[in-house]
Amino acid sequence: MSTTSAPPSDRGRWERVLPVLGDLGLVVVCWFEGFTNQNAGWNRPFVLSVLALVAVLLRRRIPLLAFLLGVPALGWAQSTLAPAVLAFTLAHRERRGPVVVGAVVVGVGIDAAAVLDPRPGLWRADVAVLLQVTALLAGAAALGAYRAARGDLRDRLAELVRARSREHELVDAAARAQERTRLAREMHDVVSHQVSLIAIAAGALRVGDHPPAVRSAAEQIRALAVRTTDELRQMLTALRSDGRQPLHAPGRLADLPALWATSGVAGTFEVDPALLAQDELTAVPEGLQRTAFRVAQEGLTNARRHAPGAAVHLRVGLASRRLTVSVVNAPPRPGTSRPGAVPGTGHGLLGVEERVAAARGTLAVGPTADGGFHLDAAFPLPAAQALQSASPLAPPVARDPAHGV
């Protein structure tokens, strides 16, 4: 079931029109109540009744003057509804209590002067009429004050809720900042130290008396360790700065060739030239570039981990105003065993799925018909930033792991 709401402009128009319609309806009701037994003309009851109707229309802007203008109609013209409405509005809009009490006392005095009879033996009737006038004006004013008090209480309660919400946000932000600091400290003490040791060991192996293939592998390990250390340093800086400092680690579309060069897999790499042009990079949002880069990185990592020696095809292109990333690997080569202790968290594809969903993209993963594996992601480009591929894909870059790029 779907619900529709009026546009803001229509809602604002109705908020202005409804009070006017309500005032007109109230004037009509007061007219029927106060002019039933009135004779039109320049007589006092008729004139006071007309002034009471005018006061009803002016009660929102000048509540005190409107009350003093319309309250004589209660005693001098036997009109009860209009003076009661004026007393209610006065107490509701005038927040100075002594002013409201003084105005009600003056109104009771004006109306009592018209109904009190000083002749002997009528004091009981005079007291009854005085009590009725007082009850009408004071009761209406009390209802107006009660409604004003409820409105103030509601506003204060809403402000208290907003203040508590802001307080909870500040507490949560402080807790998150403390947790980020703790994580940064642990990452620095554990991960950074271990990665630095890997880089040092790989550097020593690279300059030793070893076969060329071993030295090439050692150089690749050292380069990856140095790059990982640099990315880790960027992440630690962002964590310690409360997450406000942007990351400048590799993660843009322009970094895809370097990612492929250091991946250590055999296969082909295709990328649309428009995505690598410096004057076109700004057309793809920074967050979307980083997501596409991480998808390609995860696909290459999984291919190397689960299908060692298999051919891998990485393709990044444009199609129908969508950025596409595809990583497909063939089945492992016969006789190639899977490494027994390949490091991994086991949450790589889950992280990719979350990244793709956050970018409003689609993700498809699964085995291929020949026994390989594919990872395909597609991301919509904003309409104002959509690119069109002006030329065919760049010639695929082939790699043989034994000879490098």
* Residue 4 pLDDT: 47
Q: Which CATH superfamily is domain 252-334+346-405 in?
A: Histidine kinase-like ATPase, C-terminal domain (3.30.565.10)
Please give the Cα distance from 180 to 174 (Å, whole number). Answer: 10
Please give the Cα distance from 261 to 333 (Å, whole number). Answer: 21
Encoded tokens for 366? 């699964």
Helix axes 44-58, 63-70, angle to 10 degrees: 160
* Residue 10 pLDDT: 61
> Which residues are bridge partners to 294 per DSSP?
none
Which of 277-284's residues contact partners 24+ apart within 8 Å by CB, and which partners?
A: 278/254, 280/387, 281/252, 281/253, 281/254, 283/381, 283/385, 283/386, 283/387, 284/253, 284/323, 284/381, 284/385, 284/387
How is the chain split into domains, by residue range? 9-165, 252-334+346-405
* Residue 374 pLDDT: 92
Residue by residue, pLDDT tens for the chain (405 residues) are 444 445 555 666 766 777 777 777 777 887 777 676 666 777 877 888 888 888 888 888 898 998 988 888 887 887 888 888 899 989 988 888 899 899 889 988 888 777 776 666 666 666 777 888 889 889 999 999 999 999 999 999 999 999 999 998 888 888 877 877 777 776 666 676 677 777 777 777 777 677 777 777 777 777 777 777 767 776 666 666 654 555 445 577 888 888 888 887 889 999 887 776 654 555 678 778 888 888 998 898 888 888 888 899 999 988 778 899 999 999 887 765 554 444 444 556 887 888 888 888 999 999 999 889 999 999 988 764 445 554 445 545 555 444 333
**Entry pTM:** 0.44
* Residue 8 pLDDT: 52
393 phi/psi in degrees, rounded to 5: -60, 150
Please give the Cα distance from 79 to 109 (Å, whole number). Answer: 16
257 phi/psi in degrees, rounded to 5: -60, -40
Please give the Cα distance from 321 to 223 (Å, whole number). Answer: 36
Residue 256 contacts residue 295 (beta carbons within 8 Å)? no
Please give the Cα distance from 361 to 291 (Å, whole number). Answer: 10
The residue assigned the tokens 């322009």 is: 254
